[in-house]
A and B are shown apart, each in its own frame.
Chain A
Amino acid sequence: MTNIENQQPVVTLTQVAAGYGAALVLDTVSLSVEKGELIGISGRNGSGKSTLIKLILGEIEARQGLVEVLGTPMDTQANRRSVQLNIGYLAQSQRDPSIAISVEESVLLGRWGSNFAWMKRSTGHDRKIAREKLELVGMASLARRDIRTLSGGQRQRVSLARALVRQPKLVLMDEPTTYLDAETKEDLMQSIYSLHAELGITMIVVTHETFSSEFFDRMLFIQDGTLLPMGASS
C-alpha cells in the first residue's frame, strides 16, 4: 500500500473510460486534483458526473486508463476498500427519509467501517467526534432530533457533518444542493466553502447547477463523458 500522506496529487485519472454494461459514460477522461483543492465539476444530467464520483469512490472500475486516489491505484478490492476509509461522501438530499433516526446517530453512521462495523460496536469516542462535526456545521443543538423533522437544508448540513466524521482526506459531493431552495443552496455552498477554508480538506463537488466560480479553486465542465475547463464547452 502506498503512503497516502506523502502522495500528491490526491486524485489522478489518466485516459480513463468507464460505463455500465454496453454504455460508455466516461470517455478517455484525465483529471488531476491537488491536495487541498476545492473543485467544482458541473454538467447536465446524464453527462457522467455521478459516474466520475463512483469511479473515484471505487464503486465502479475503469474499463481503461489509470485511476489513483490518495496515492493508491484503484485496481484491487483491497486498495479500493483502503481508500474508501479515507473518503467522505455527501449524496444529494433525500426528499423524504423514512427511517426514524436521531441526528447524532445518523452522523455517527458515517464512521462505519473505520472504527466500528457489525459485531464491533461504536464507542464514546465515535459519539464525541460525531458531536464535534455537528458543532462544526452548526447543528449541535439539534443532535437529539429525529432526522425526519428537519428541513432539506438542515438535513444536508447533517450530511456534511456525516461526510466529515471519518476525518477524511478527500470529500466527494454528488449534487449536494438538489431539492433545496435558492437561498438554502447558497447557504450550503457558503458552508462548504468555509469548511474547506477551515479544514483544508480536498473536496470535489459535482452539480448540474450553476454556482459562482468564487466558491471553487477550479471549475470544470463535463460534457458527453469528457472533462473540459469551464468556458471551453460548446
Chain B
Amino acid sequence: MIERLALAFSIPVIRYAFFGMLVAGGTLSLLGVIIVSLHLTAIRFTLMHVGLLGAAAGLSLGYSPTLGAFILVIGTSVVMGRLGKEKSLSASSVSGLFMTGSLAGAFLLLAATGVPAMNVFDIFAGNILLMTKGDLIFIIVLGIGILGVFWVAYRELQLVLLDKDLARSLGLPVDAIVTGMFLLLGIGVATALRLVGALLVDAIILLPGIAALRFARNFGMALFLSALFGVLACTGGFFLSLFFNLPLGASAAMVSTLILAMSVLMKRTIH
C-alpha cells in the first residue's frame, strides 16, 4: 500500500490533485456555513447552471469551457448579490431568473454555433487530474484568501448572519459584505466546478457545512467542523479513488454524503 502511495505521489499530477483537494476541502467548505446560514442553497445551484452557459460561451468563442464557466460564474455571483438588494428580490427569485435564463441561453448558444452539447456537459464531470501546478497555486492562494476573509471579518460575518437589520443599525456595511460573500461564493463554486464538476460541487462546498451546523454550538466550531469534514471528504475520496480505481469526484462526494448521513443519524435536528 505504501509502495503504491509512493509511486502515485511521484507523479506530479497526482500530487497536485491531492494537495488541491486538501486545500479545497479545508477552505471552500467554510463557504458552506455561509450558504446554509444565509439560506443561499438555491443560489449555489443557480451558479452551477450559469457555469454551463459559461462553458457553452467559452467553447463557442474558441476558448476553454472552464475559463468561460469561471468568468461567468464569478460575474453572475456579483450581479445576483446586487440585484437582490436593488430590486428587492428574494434569493429564490434571483435564482429562478438566472437558472432558467442560463439554461435557455446555453442551449440557444449551442444551437446557434453548432458546438456539440456533450462537450459542454463535460463541465458537469470535472477532471482534477488535468490540474496543473498553476491551478494548484491558484487554489492555495484562494484558500488563503478565504481564510483571510474569515479571520478579518469574523465578527462582521457573524453579525450579518445573525441579523442584517441589527448589523445595519450598528453601522456595518451589510450590502457590501453580502456582495463580497456572493463573490467569494462565485469563486468557490467556479473552482469546485474545475475540481469535481458541477454535479459534485455540493460535496466540497455545501455538505460539510450542513453537517457542521448540525454538531456545532457556536460559529467557530461550525467553521472548524466544516473545514474538517471538507478535508475528510476530499482526502478520503482521493484515497478511495486511488486504491479502488474509482472516479475522484464521485468518491469525494460519496464520503461527503456519508459524513452528512452520519451527522443526521448521530444528532437530532436543531430546527
A interface vs B, CB < 8 Å? Answer: 57, 59, 81, 84-85, 87, 89, 91, 94, 96-102, 105-106, 109-110, 112-113, 116-119, 122, 144-149, 162, 172, 174
Please name all residues of chain B whose beta carbon is closer than 8 Å to the beta carbon of A81 when the two chains form the complex: 171
A102 contacts B172, C-beta separation under 8 Å: no
Query: A81-B171, A84-B171 are contacts. A118–B161 as well, Cβ < 8 Å?
Result: no
B219 contacts A100, C-beta separation under 8 Å: yes
- Tell me the complex Cα distance, A225–B247, Å: 63
Q: Could you list 26 A-B pairs, sorted by A, with CB under 8 Å? A: A84-B170, A84-B171, A85-B171, A89-B170, A91-B165, A94-B163, A97-B162, A98-B213, A100-B217, A100-B218, A102-B217, A102-B218, A105-B219, A106-B162, A109-B158, A109-B159, A109-B166, A110-B170, A112-B167, A112-B170, A113-B170, A113-B171, A116-B155, A146-B217, A146-B218, A174-B165
Please name all residues of chain A whose beta carbon is closer than 8 Å to the beta carbon of B156 when the two chains form the complex: 112, 117-118
Please name all residues of chain B whose beta carbon is closer than 8 Å to the beta carbon of A59 when the two chains form the complex: 168-169
A98 contacts B152, C-beta separation under 8 Å: no
Task: Report A231 CB to chain B, min CB distance, Å.
Answer: 31
Q: Does B216 contact A (CB under 8 A)?
A: yes
Please name all residues of chain B whose beta carbon is closer than 8 Å to the beta carbon of A101 when the two chains form the complex: 158, 161-162, 218-219
Task: Report B135 CB to chain A, min CB distance, Å.
Answer: 31
Please name all residues of chain B whose beta carbon is closer than 8 Å to the beta carbon of A116 when the two chains form the complex: 155
B158 contacts A99, C-beta separation under 8 Å: yes
In the complex, residue of chain B having the shortest beta-carbon distance to the beta carbon of A166: B170
- Tell me the complex Cα distance, A26–B153, Å: 36
Task: Report B103 CB to chain A, min CB distance, Å.
Answer: 28
Task: Report A30 CB to chain B, min CB distance, Å.
Answer: 23
In the complex, residue of chain A having the shortest beta-carbon distance to the beta carbon of B153: A118
Chain B residues 31-60 with CB under 8 Å of chain A are 33, 36-39
In the complex, residue of chain A having the shortest beta-carbon distance to the beta carbon of B212: A100
Q: Does B222 contact A (CB under 8 A)?
A: yes
Q: Does B221 contact A (CB under 8 A)?
A: yes
- Tell me the complex Cα distance, A146–B215, Å: 10
Chain B residues 164-220 with CB under 8 Å of chain A are 165-172, 213, 216-219
Q: Does B4 contact A (CB under 8 A)?
A: no
- Tell me the complex Cα distance, A89–B36, Å: 26
- Tell me the complex Cα distance, A118–B222, Å: 20
B169 contacts A84, C-beta separation under 8 Å: yes
Q: Does B270 contact A (CB under 8 A)?
A: yes
B169 contacts A99, C-beta separation under 8 Å: no
Chain B residues 220-260 with CB under 8 Å of chain A are 221-222
Task: Report B213 CB to chain A, min CB distance, Å.
Answer: 5
Contact of B163 among A87, A91, A118 (CB under 8 A): A91
In the complex, residue of chain A having the shortest beta-carbon distance to the beta carbon of B88: A20
Task: Report B70 CB to chain A, min CB distance, Å.
Answer: 29
A99 contacts B271, C-beta separation under 8 Å: no
Contact of A91 among B36, B37, B166, B219 (CB under 8 A): B166
- Tell me the complex Cα distance, A146–B162, Å: 12
Contact of A100 among B165, B171, B213 (CB under 8 A): B213
Given A99-B219, A100-B33, A100-B213, 10 new contacts (CB under 8 A) = A81-B171, A96-B271, A100-B37, A100-B217, A101-B162, A101-B219, A112-B159, A118-B152, A145-B217, A149-B270
Task: Report A60 CB to chain B, min CB distance, Å.
Answer: 10
In the complex, residue of chain B having the shortest beta-carbon distance to the beta carbon of A94: B163
Please name all residues of chain A whose beta carbon is closer than 8 Å to the beta carbon of B37 when the two chains form the complex: 98-100
Please name all residues of chain A whose beta carbon is closer than 8 Å to the beta carbon of B170 when the two chains form the complex: 84, 89, 110, 112-113
Please name all residues of chain A whose beta carbon is closer than 8 Å to the beta carbon of B153 when the two chains form the complex: 118
In the complex, residue of chain A having the shortest beta-carbon distance to the beta carbon of B223: A100
A146 contacts B155, C-beta separation under 8 Å: no
Please name all residues of chain B whose beta carbon is closer than 8 Å to the beta carbon of A84 when the two chains form the complex: 169-171
Please name all residues of chain A whose beta carbon is closer than 8 Å to the beta carbon of B221 when the two chains form the complex: 100
Identify the 9 closest CB pairs spanning chains A and B, nearest first: A89-B169, A100-B216, A99-B161, A100-B222, A102-B218, A146-B217, A98-B37, A91-B165, A99-B37
Task: Report B165 CB to chain A, min CB distance, Å.
Answer: 5
Task: Report A207 CB to chain B, min CB distance, Å.
Answer: 16
- Tell me the complex Cα distance, A109–B164, Å: 12
- Tell me the complex Cα distance, A100–B217, Å: 6
B270 contacts A148, C-beta separation under 8 Å: yes
Task: Report A7 CB to chain B, min CB distance, Å.
Answer: 21
Query: A109-B159, A146-B270 are contacts. A89–B213 as well, Cβ < 8 Å?
Result: no
Query: A94-B163, A98-B37 are contacts. A117–B155 as well, Cβ < 8 Å?
Result: yes
